[in-house]
Amino acid sequence: MIGNIETILEPTVRLGVLLLFAALGEYVAERAGTINISLEGMMLSGAYGAALVSSLTGSPVVGILAGMGAGLVIAYIQAQLSHRLDIDQFVVGIALTTLALGLTTFLFIEVEMSSGRLHEFRIPGLANIPIIGEAFFGQVWLTYLIVPAIFIVRWVMTRTSWGLELRAVGENPPAADVSGVPVLARRRQSIYVCGLLAGLSGAYLAVGLVGGFSQNMTAGKGFIAIAAVLFGGWRLWGAVAGALLFGFADALAVALPAVGVENVPGALLNSLPYVLAFGGLLVFAARARKPSALAVPFSRGVN
């Protein structure tokens, strides 16, 4: 029984953190007023960039940085098109996700790369704690980065003027505008942050968990991360809870057969994260107060 908990807890942390990196980025973008659905494309290109560069240089760290850079490239295009040139943010997001999927699939077939994965970094002492030790302290080092990442995002969003301006831009852009906040610039910057974090999430998947790239390897995880932010009611800790919950649902698909529960249909397990996310939104979305200007494009002079 205790062994079973361990078997489920370990992939929950692994997959939950994967979603969480992306969800943190999406949280920043959404608080500034963008529903960034190119998140999936950012993760996918981050995964490809990380796998390719770490295979070329032999250094996973450089690979991870490259993955963040690849996410940033998508973010740059998304930000410029939707918050400078006034093209519909969803349309841009769909186009970019399609482009990322097509390009990574094509390049993956055309360019050969070797596989290589980060090693687990067991934190001495703590990793030996029964039940939770392996799950929380026996992961690859990139996993632990999520803890400072959460607190840095929290600090930036609540304690810096930049973060306050981001949130103002998501709530009431005309008011922010007359106060001298560069609305579109802040929105673009929020998407850059999102791109970096989503790229990191993709890199974590490719270099940290799988050790290589495969076609469409994110498989909708970016969309689940967006759902986690909505599920969490656009609050940081809500998004964290949502990401971990959906990570748990993902983990069940991996772990249930391993703990001897075999008569659950695979179709049910596969759709569990999505059903859970939809159900969660049904329960929580109506109560949450979303950023007032979410998905509303800003232009001066009209309202």
Partner 1 sequence: MTAAGHSSAAVTGNGAGNSDATPPESGLVGRVEPRSVRLAYQAAFFVLFLALATVASGALVALAGGSPTAVLDALLDGSLRSPGAWGRSLIEMVPLALVGLGVVVAFKAGSYNIGQEGQFAMGALGAAVVSLLVPGPGALVMALALIAAAAAGGFWAGLAAVAEARRKVDVLISTLLLTFVAPNVILFLVSRDYLLLDTTESNNRLASQSERIAEEVRLPNLEIFGNKVHAGVLVALVVTGLVALLLARSVWGLRLRTLGLSARTARRAGVRPGVVGGGALVFSGAAAGLAGGMLLSGAAFRLRAEIANDFGWHGLLVALVARLNAAAVLPVAFFFAMVRTGGGFLTATGVSRTVTDVVQALFVVAALLPAALMFIRDRRAARRMALRSVSDTAP
CB 26 within 8 A of CB 229: yes
Stretch touching partner 1 by CB under 8 A, among 143-151, 156-164, 235-243, 293-301: 293-301
Among 109, 124, 260, 262, binds partner 1 (CB under 8 A): 109
Stretch touching partner 1 by CB under 8 A, among 112-120, 148-156, 159-167, 267-275: 267-275
Residue nearer to partner 1 on the CB measure, 142 or 217:
217
Could you say which residues in the range 116-135 bind partner 1, by CB under 8 A? none
CB 207 within 8 A of CB 67: yes
157 binds partner 1 (CB under 8 A): no
Residue nearer to partner 1 on the CB measure, 159 or 300:
300
Residue nearer to partner 1 on the CB measure, 83 or 118:
83
Stretch touching partner 1 by CB under 8 A, among 126-134, 147-155, 179-187, 260-268: 260-268
Contacts of 100 (CB under 8 A, 6+ apart): 38, 40, 41, 42, 44, 45, 74
99 binds partner 1 (CB under 8 A): yes
Joined together, the tokens standing for residue 97 give: 């996700």
Q: Which of helix, strand or coil describes residue 142?
A: helix
301 binds partner 1 (CB under 8 A): yes
Return d(Cα 166, Cα 187) in angstroms, integer: 7
Return d(Cα 11, Cα 201) in angstroms, integer: 16
2 binds partner 1 (CB under 8 A): no
Return d(Cα 248, Cα 245) in angstroms, integer: 5
Stretch touching partner 1 by CB under 8 A, among 68-76, 137-145, 195-203, 217-225: 217-225
- C-alpha to C-alpha distances, 196 to 20, 104, 303, nearest whole angstrom: 13, 18, 33
Residue nearer to partner 1 on the CB measure, 3 or 112:
112
Residue nearer to partner 1 on the CB measure, 178 or 285:
285
Could you say which residues in the range 8-37 bind partner 1, by CB under 8 A? 35, 37
3-state SS track over 203-245: HHHHHHHHCCCCCCCCCCHHHHHHHHHHHCCCCHHHHHHHHHH
Query: How many binding residues for partner 1 (CB under 8 A)?
Result: 46
Among 98, 114, 115, 158, binds partner 1 (CB under 8 A): 98
Joined together, the tokens standing for residue 106 give: 């094509």
DSSP classification of residue 127: G
Residue nearer to partner 1 on the CB measure, 4 or 105:
105
Contacts of 162 (CB under 8 A, 6+ apart): 156, 186, 189
Binding site for partner 1 (CB under 8 A): 35, 37, 81, 85-87, 90-92, 94-96, 98-99, 101-103, 105-106, 109-110, 220, 223-224, 226-227, 230, 265-268, 270-271, 274-275, 277-278, 281-283, 285-286, 299-302
